[in-house]
Amino acid sequence: MTREELIKVIEKIKEKSAMKAYSLTVNPDKVPDIFQSKIGGLPYWDSTKEYPKDENGSLLFLLAQINCDDLPEDDRLPQKGMLQFFIDSGDMDFGLDFKQGDSRKNFRVVYHENINYDVKAEDIPDAYKLLSEDDYLPTNGEYVLDIEEKTVYTNPEEYNFENIFKESAKELGIKMTADNVYDEVSQEGYSYLCDVFNGFGHFLLGYPCFTQCDPRDDCEEYQVYDTMLIQIDSDGGEYVTWGDAGIGNFFINKEDLKNKNFDRILYNWDCC
């Protein structure tokens, strides 16, 4: 495939895969509280709920929370309440069962349908903060997240990218001579493709990115998790680091998300 043909295919892929998502940016200048969208720290908590624990009965750690009251209107997401993501702080796997990523034994997604703004930080047990020297955590503190709407596109790490690339080429009348994208374009062309479709960063919705591979690739059982709910990326060790500069994702089925059912989740993180 020539460079000119590749550029045409790229534009077609953008047209076919464009999606509204939300970029999450750490803002270290804001002082976090229990009601803000943030990474780490003390979570908002409704005392009528049982706090999530791992399979051994230890408290889980707040990786991130999203205040849905602050989200722009978007019928794919809850329009009120608090959405929280908890992981295990007791081992270096951060609660991931690598053989069964949808096992919720050591991670959890919790949704509070309504936020009680009368709750005070001092009403929430300090133990929920879990920031001691004995904890294994991908975050090194508590940071507010600024939320910005952004148009995103699929990327070469996403399991369906190969199909979208081939469909785009076919629709443009460009014949592929290789079985896969990597062999179809030059090494320089593939690097250019990855630069154009860069999926790294913190995101709510959008397309996932990986340092290794999409866990849904060649696994039909996992392909039911067709929606990336949130992605928390490493940032050079300043605020977040997954292992050796890795990346973490939570996936959900779009109908479960529509119905605010967060009991069926695929959690994954990988690193170099």
CATH of the domain at 112: 2.30.320.10
pLDDT tens column, 144-163: 999 999 999 999 999 999 99
| 3-state SS track over 26-63 | EECCCCCCCCCCEECCCCCCCCCCCCCECCCCCECEEE
d(CA 156, CA 153) in angstroms, rounded, equals 10
Tell me the residue range of the domain where 160 lies. Answer: 3-270
pLDDT tens column, 80-139: 999 999 999 877 899 999 888 888 899 999 999 999 999 999 989 877 876 555 567 888
pLDDT tens column, 156-184: 999 999 999 999 999 999 999 999 998 99
Confidence at residue 132, expressed as pLDDT on a 0 to 100 scale? 52
pLDDT tens column, 37-89: 999 999 999 888 999 999 999 899 999 999 999 999 999 999 999 999 999 98
Q: How many domains does the chain have?
A: 1
Contact call for residues 99 and 133 (beta carbons, < 8 A):
no
pLDDT tens column, 241-259: 998 889 999 999 999 999 9
d(CA 13, CA 155) in angstroms, rounded, equals 9
Contact call for residues 241 and 138 (beta carbons, < 8 A):
yes
pTM: 0.93
| 3-state SS track over 82-125 | EEEEEECCCCCCCCCCCCCCCCCCCEEEEEECCCCCCCCHHHCC
pLDDT tens column, 195-254: 999 999 999 999 999 999 999 998 989 999 999 999 999 988 789 999 888 999 999 999
Q: Which residues contact 229 (CB under 8 A, 6 or more apart)?
A: 109, 204, 205, 250, 251, 252, 257, 265
